[in-house]
Structures are given as C-alpha cells and as structure tokens.
Structure 1
C-alpha cells in the first residue's frame, strides 16, 4: 500500500498538484489512520476475529482537519478517501445530516422508541470510515442529535475524518441551547485528532486569478466559460445539496467542496427569505450564479430576493461568479426598488475585485 506521501508526491511531480508544505505536513497523520484501519481490517479477517468477538476493539482515532477556505482540506480528504483500505463513504456533512433526519422521521412514524438507533446501525453496517466535508452545525435539530449519533457510530467502530472551516470550539457558536451541544465538542476532541491546516495560500482564489468573474451579456461563449470555471474548481463533479432551514428545504442544484452552481431562478424564483440566504452563504464558499435577468416591476419579488442574496454573500465574503443580461448598474434601471439597487450594484462591482474574500 503506497503511502499518501508517495501518492501526493507523484501528483506534484506530474503537475496535477502544486506542492504545499502545510498540506504535506498533514499526510503522516492521515497515513497513521490508514495503517490503523488496515491493521484492524486484517485482524478481523484473521484468527484475531475470534478474540474480537469476545472483546470490543478500541476504535481507530479519526481526524478533524480545520482551516481557512481554499487551503486544500477537501483535496486531502479526497486523497485519503480514494485510498482507504476499508469500506468508506465521502459525503457533505449537510447532506449526511439530512439523510439521518429523514431516517429518524421514518423510524418515528413506524413507532420505533429510540428513532436514532436504526440510523446508527445502518451506517455502521455499510462503512468503517466516514469522510465528512464542511462539517458545520447551524440547525438546532442537527445540534440536538449529533452527539448521540456520533457516539453510537464510534461505539460501533466507525472512524470519522472531517474537514471544517471552524475550530471545534466554534461549532454551533451562539446557537440556541448550545450548552446541550457542548458534550459533542468534547467527543470530537476525545475521538478525533484536531489538526489546523495553516497554509498561507488560498488555492481556490488562485484558480480565479486573471479570470473574469462577471459575464455579460449571456451568450453561448459565456456559458462555455462558466462551464470551464465550474470544471476547474470541482473537476466537473457536483450533486444537489439540500439545506434545512427552519423546517424548509433550500436547494442548491450543484455543489462540490464548497462550490455551488445555480441559476438566478433557482435561488430567487423560490419563496426564500433572509434566513435561507444566510444558510446558503454559510454553506458555500464560492457561488456560480447564472442568467441574472433584467430586473424591474415585472419581477419585483425576485429582484428583492436577489438583493437579499447578494447582501448575505457580501457579508459572508463568499466569492461570486455570475452571468447576467447587463452590467450591474444597468440591471435595475426603472420601477420601485431601482434606487435601493444602487447599493447592490456597488457590491456586485466590489465582489469582482481579485482580492474579494481574501
């Protein structure tokens, strides 16, 4: 089994990756986890499995990898997942928690007294390793069950490797009834090695250097350019991400490693409000927003939502790549709200700056 350090070095040598000392420093830790997982798998398949049936083995300690946006956390986790020696699943944390909440709902309908137990059993029967991207807790429903969920998974020998933009102590910060959430933070520190990836380079930002981020008007060539940016940032892979906001579903049609892609109508044609756009801004680090139309009295409600969306992205320092019918100052030129839109146009201009979000 080649080490992750060797695999990483080969990718650097081929030009697929750019060598980064901070990233390289994480690899020995991830290799230790791989080696422990492989040893556990070999022991279970051999004669030691007879002893293992009598005594529950200690779980393999996982990793909580946190740091700033674009530092390569997701890339390192993908490298680890792709070379896992055991059954592994890689999933965005939001998507995983939505699955769990759905399973719990079904279990309750079926009259199961402890509705979280079937979810724990199901996950533990499928994988030995869970790789979570973008671990963050914003929903109180998730906050109230995540401790029991992870405790149950750890007890069944599931190892967790996760990335996050937040140090564990800042998870669910200022959340309702946060004191009930604090044992989960302690559990993370007990069962996972907390590692700060402190790279000075934002590689996601670097990929956009010298690349236009606001395209107008929308033409076939613009659509090709937008598609090229999406593939460069995500490898062309993405899946729908559904965020739960106060019991509602807020959908991003395509999402991968903190990068989302949607049309104006996907996000502003729905009856979303400020809380929904704040949730999007919290989950997304770069948004590709396509087909922004002319705004005015004919789409007044959609225009108001667009203003709210841009405000949320701006305050959260989310990078924006957009295609529109016209320049920001000429998107909304008549009707109620045109004057107020001047601030939005100014923000759209500012968000085109190469240093935006740094």
Structure 2
C-alpha cells in the first residue's frame, strides 16, 4: 500500500514541478503527449527526484521511498527514466540489468576472496558515492541472480539509498519459474515494503506505433538494421549480404564455461544455429561476452513459435535472453527460419517464455524478408 505523502517543503515542490515540466517538454519534443499512467509515473519520479535533491542539501538522514515502475512492453518506462535521469541534478548512477550482472559475475570470478565477499564488494562499488540508483529492465529468471538482488536491496536500505526501478514484471511476478519462485518470496516482500509500486499501463505500445509527427523511438539503430528472414533462400540472404558459411569455416568458442560451435570464422559476424546457441547450457553471461566481440549476429534454423514443441521451454527462455542482450547492447540481429517466425501469439501452454510480449515488441523493430519480396523487386526492375 502506498503511504500517505506529507506536504513537501517549498524547495521540494519547486524541484518536483521543474522535473515534471522538463519531462513533459521532452515528450512534446519527441512528438507525443504523456498518457495518464505515464503522467502519474512522471509525477512520482519528479517527487522522488525532489526528495533526493532536498535531502542532499539539508543533510537529512531520512531516506526517500524507492520507486518500482512496471507495465507492459513499449509503454514508455525506459523513456521516462531517460528524461528523469537527464534532468535530475543529484549524485546518481544508472545501470541495466544485464550490464549489472555481467560486471557482478566478472567481479565474483576475478576476486580472490570468497564469493559472498566478492558479491558484497561489487554491490558496495555500485552504491558508493551516489544519492540514487536507477535500475533498468529489472527482472529475475535465475535463483542465483535473485540472491544478488536480495543483497543489493539490503545494502541499499542500510545505506538509505533509494532506487528507481523499471520492469516489465509486477513484483509478485518476478522469478516466475515455479521451481524457484517460492525462494524469492522474501525478496518480493522486501521490494513491496521499501518501494512504491506504480503501474504504467497505457493503451499504446510506442515501440510499434510511434506518435504522429515523430520519428519513432530513438536509438537501437544497429538492432533495427537486422531482419527476420523466411524461409532463408540463398537469394534472400545474398540480397542482405549474407552467405551461408561452409563447413570448413566452423570454429568453437568458449565465452565462459560452455563451448559453442559457430558456423563462421568472420571476425565481426557470429553465425550460429538456434539449437547450438539456445538448446544447451549457455547462459546470459555467454551472450554478453560474445556481444563484446561480434557486432552482427546471424541465428539460423530458428523454429516457428507457432509450432507446438518446436523447441524446449528452456531453449525459448535462452532465446529470449539473447534478444534482450542484443537489443540492449544495440547489436545487429538476423533471424533465419523456415517460418512463420511470428511472436505475436499467446505464450500459454506451449513452452514459450511468459514474457513473450517483451520479445515480440523488440523483434517488431526488425525488418522482414519474404520470398515474395524478391519477385516484387524483379518485377519493378523489369518494368
């Protein structure tokens, strides 16, 4: 339950008003107006920013309430965080889920101390010297990552450092795997205790339907340059500058602990089969390491999500993690399958990830190549 808000001092009210006006102006410059749920979230962010700013000036030891923004994909959560973070005048740090855990795991592996001590050192480094931590794309699929999150929340509370979090999940839906969900219940309770939970649930998916007069969401230009290709004929691939590697080009890489057989030896392009990349024991850490080397990814033999049992549930979840990583790091992605490669379907009862809507929204940014496209081009060329 959201606590009652006591009247803020004038300095806090003025700062909150300024932040809210700046966010609204940013929306106007981007070609759209804030929806009602976005306005409410923007107002709560502005109030948090004002509390953080005034607290720093007055040296108050009372910590502001943390904020947890959640809702469906494409409703503007990250956009709101962008604007808020840009205009907030405070000691602040912003991290993304995948980047946070990549650094956390790296620090744990490289430290000579015990794992618990290494984790605490990484959390301490994340929180040192700031008044506010902004955490994007907060989600938990692994019980080990859940333990790290619990440590982060506990340490932030001890240091009286508030968090501003965006997520596609309500707190009760975090770590949805029924085998592990009960283990995360104490952390969910802590999130609901220390954070105000605000839902952003407007009717528009701004990733799919940019506001009239705008150029659409900015950023992710490299990711947007990718294509979903069905069925992947040589002519289709050739038009995109893609040529199926020969068997002699294959090589094996071990990004962390699991060897992965790549189909190519190009220094910039990773070409790999769906089953090889997602059907084994690879993890998000593997994808993050590979993304540091390869600026273009080609994943072929992608099964159709519409086919029952086309891939195992763990394989689809790993595929979801791959898309997350490549989208967030702005890596060009080509997906090749015999089709149909359509993720706008219900995820119930077919092994697909429960967060399929987020992946469908992200993949909607990619172009599509179909066999009929070739015929249309040839007809146009001959006319």
TM-score, reference length from structure 1: 0.63
Once the two structures are TM-superposed, the CA of residue 254 in structure 1 deviates from its matched residue by: 7.8
CA separation of 1:19 and 1:150: change in aligned 2, threshold 3 A: closer
Q: Which moved more, 1:28-37 or 1:11-20?
A: 11-20
* 8 A Cα contact 1:144 1:180, kept in partner: no
The answer for the alignment partner of 1:131 in structure 2 is 134
Of 28, 40, 60 in structure 2, the residue corresponding to residue 25 of structure 1 is 40
Distance 1:191 1:309 in 2: 44
Once the two structures are TM-superposed, the CA of residue 197 in structure 1 deviates from its matched residue by: 0.9
Of 221, 230, 249 in structure 1, the residue corresponding to residue 286 of structure 2 is 249
Aligned pairs, number: 277
In structure 1, stretches of 5+ residues that fail to align are 49-56, 221-242, 256-260, 293-302, 332-358
CA separation of 1:330 and 1:251: change in aligned 2, threshold 3 A: farther
CA displacement, residues 89-128 of structure 1 (integer Å, 9 cap, x when unaligned): 2221121122222223333x23476332212321221322
Distance 1:137 1:308 in 2: 30
SS at match of 1:155: helix
Of 156, 161, 186 in structure 2, the residue corresponding to residue 158 of structure 1 is 161
Distance 1:67 1:129 in 2: 22
CA separation of 1:195 and 1:78: change in aligned 2, threshold 3 A: same
Q: Which moved more, 1:29-38 or 1:306-315?
A: 306-315
CA displacement, residues 290-324 of structure 1 (integer Å, 9 cap, x when unaligned): 556xxxxxxxxxx6xx5699587875241345467
* 8 A Cα contact 1:217 1:323, kept in partner: no
Once the two structures are TM-superposed, the CA of residue 24 in structure 1 deviates from its matched residue by: 1.4
* 8 A Cα contact 2:66 2:164, kept in partner: yes
The answer for the alignment partner of 1:34 in structure 2 is 49
The answer for the alignment partner of 1:59 in structure 2 is 63
CA displacement, residues 259-302 of structure 1 (integer Å, 9 cap, x when unaligned): xx97443x459xx965531423566889986556xxxxxxxxxx
* 8 A Cα contact 2:141 2:175, kept in partner: yes
Residue 110 (structure 2) pairs with residue 106 (structure 1): yes
Once the two structures are TM-superposed, the CA of residue 153 in structure 1 deviates from its matched residue by: 1.8
Distance 2:326 2:204 in 1: 19
Once the two structures are TM-superposed, the CA of residue 130 in structure 1 deviates from its matched residue by: 1.4
TM-score, reference length from structure 2: 0.60
* 8 A Cα contact 1:59 1:155, kept in partner: no
The answer for the alignment partner of 2:72 in structure 1 is 68
Of 275, 280, 283 in structure 1, the residue corresponding to residue 322 of structure 2 is 280
Distance 1:115 1:310 in 2: 42
The answer for the alignment partner of 1:79 in structure 2 is 83
CA separation of 1:291 and 1:164: change in aligned 2, threshold 3 A: closer
In structure 2, stretches of 5+ residues that fail to align are 1-14, 217-223, 230-235, 241-277, 302-313, 346-351, 375-383
Once the two structures are TM-superposed, the CA of residue 141 in structure 1 deviates from its matched residue by: 1.6
* 8 A Cα contact 1:218 1:291, kept in partner: no
* 8 A Cα contact 1:64 1:163, kept in partner: yes
